[in-house]
Structure 1
Amino acid sequence: MKAAVFHDPGQLEMRTDLRAPEPGPNEVIVKVSACGICGSDLHLYRTNAHRGPSLLWTSPEGYEVPGHEYSGTIVGTGSNITDWHIGERVVGVTGGGGFAEYVRVPVNPFQLVRVPDAVSFAEAATTEPLADGLQMVRKANVQPGENVVVYGVGIIGLGVIQALKAMNVRAKQIIAVDVSDSRLAMAVEVGATAVVNPRVDEPIARIGQICGTVPTEFPPMNPPDVAAVIDCAGFLKHMDGPPPLQQALHLLRPKGGRIVCFGAYEDKFPIDFMPVIHKEIAIYGSMGYSPADLEKALDLMASGELDRKRLISHRLTLEHITEAFEVQGSPEAIKVMVTID
């Protein structure tokens, strides 16, 4: 079968000689139609970060195949499978293997879900990142009238903003922070009330102008009136300036501020942690989603309550996998979708 093989940072190739996977007793085989490039895939491609079974499927020949956000059609079932059938349209989520003609998917509610007829394969391949956003919004627990900041508005951060709107979270301000003007423009289209580009404005000062500040006598400080920060950017070694987590600690108002950390970290970095104590900040990690989030994401797409098609900025075929990764790493890209014929 055809598959994209990862060798080392910056080294991907499309091969045609891999053996197709066989289903285990509790698995199905999906013929892939579309697979999205995730931020974690980019971390791997750039720096070898997180290399292992969480991002890569190892073929019988020993080749490593990335890709974990995909959709397609069931073409084979394991011996124990009775409730899933050949020909069903599905979303699959695995630890790699999606950039290939065929992928093996365990049958459980975290990794396999049916696709409604009204949702295209390309849209369906964005289900997992939208489900991630739904979970982050739950964890942030934004209350009516509060201000929330979303760092990083690629497909994940834009999904967070879409989720905030779809879940009727009546925030006062939804502020998107990113270095890409095209992504910030899309953030406004899907519901952000204000945007900040750190290459143009210092984020803490600018967000303080947008939201107002909360002067405090002890310890003396005057932070912006921000109740929650959702960090979809993490730590990118090539980016200038303090990481979003450090900025979030300085952004939050005293008492009751929340940070939800989702974006991956390419390396360690020093951090001033005293604001956590001074402001009594709560920090939550968010990894993935619940099965209900996968279903909800597809329901929102099928009903037309939110539009994921507009977030697919580029479409390339598997034969152009290296170009697809390079494009995904550019500031202009939102979501690069790789199609498999």
Structure 2
Amino acid sequence: MRFRYMDVMALVRKFEKPDIFLTMTCNPNWDEIKNELYPGQCAQDHLDLVARVFRAKLEVLKKRLMENDILGKVHAYVYVVEFQKRGLPHAHWLLIMKRKYKIRCPEQYDLLIYAELPNKKKYPELYKMVTKHMMHGPCGMLNPSCPCTKGRTSCKNRYPRPFCDSTSQGKDSYPVYRRRDDGRKEMIRGHTLDNQWVVPYNSYLLRTFNCHINVEACNNIKSVKYLFKYIYKGHGRASVAVREAGKKDDKGNVDEITQYREARWVTPPEAMWRIYNFDLSKNHPLVQQLQLHLQDMHMVIMNKRDKVERVIKRPRVKESMLTAYFDYNRIHPEARGILYRDFPKHFTWNSTDKVWQPRKNVAY
């Protein structure tokens, strides 16, 4: 978690704060899934198919964002795939836009992000998708047993949101989106909901992927920490008890502590994702992790069967990225103006010979 977090913070240092936070959730009713099922089957019967289709959709989304510039020209991105204990996989994206395409005013927010029900007569297909995928709840007083309200006095996601005639910058890193009281309402899960319950979305992405795809504007690095602290806080765990009914010790007591076992909880979609060896997270551009250590205290990779004496006698065993950086600066004066953190932009690391070599093309 720490390594991945630091990689993304290196991107933030170079390209400034993230601009867009995007969440895409798998839809089990996608045609690509339903068309491959046998009569009487559902998506839960072929979670290998669910994992493969969701991964293909992620690749399409990446192409639309990076090559087609749907939300503007992207300078850097990172995404992380999450698997809930009882639910479908979804991916969280952070996009850092190029300086010209950064969102800086409410008028630009309204061009990309919507938090209202569309015109049902003018956009019937979009209206159907918004009411199906982008309506929160109902929760709060309408449904106290909803997971986001259970054990609380109100919704933890602050729904229903107040009406607002225009978009403005909020107190936290997210703006207050326009939610006009235009009288548009829809019956959702037994309750009549209006614009106060709409989750922010992008019309093009919603119509293209036909799934829950939340798009938010953000300008705070807290979203980076949330991305990795929440996802990589540790794998899911479950307590399991396996015992014979009525079995007791010599004194007639039942030792419940020794009979329970803590085990790792892996959902079927996550198991298939790992079997297929799909990426759990990815960032662009790539970040070179540099070694930093005291003298003669760098890490050495060795096989457990190797003898320490032979490892110490290996050629250039005392060299590392850091010592090679010092050596290159000592020999080549033109490199002395480049900081160690920026060295990979101009040079590549040869792990075999343990030397820095000039790049043919300058990196980001």
Calculate the TM-score normalised by the size of structure 2.
Answer: 0.20
The structure richer in strand per residue is 1
Higher CA-based Rg: 2
Calculate the TM-score normalised by the size of structure 1.
Answer: 0.21
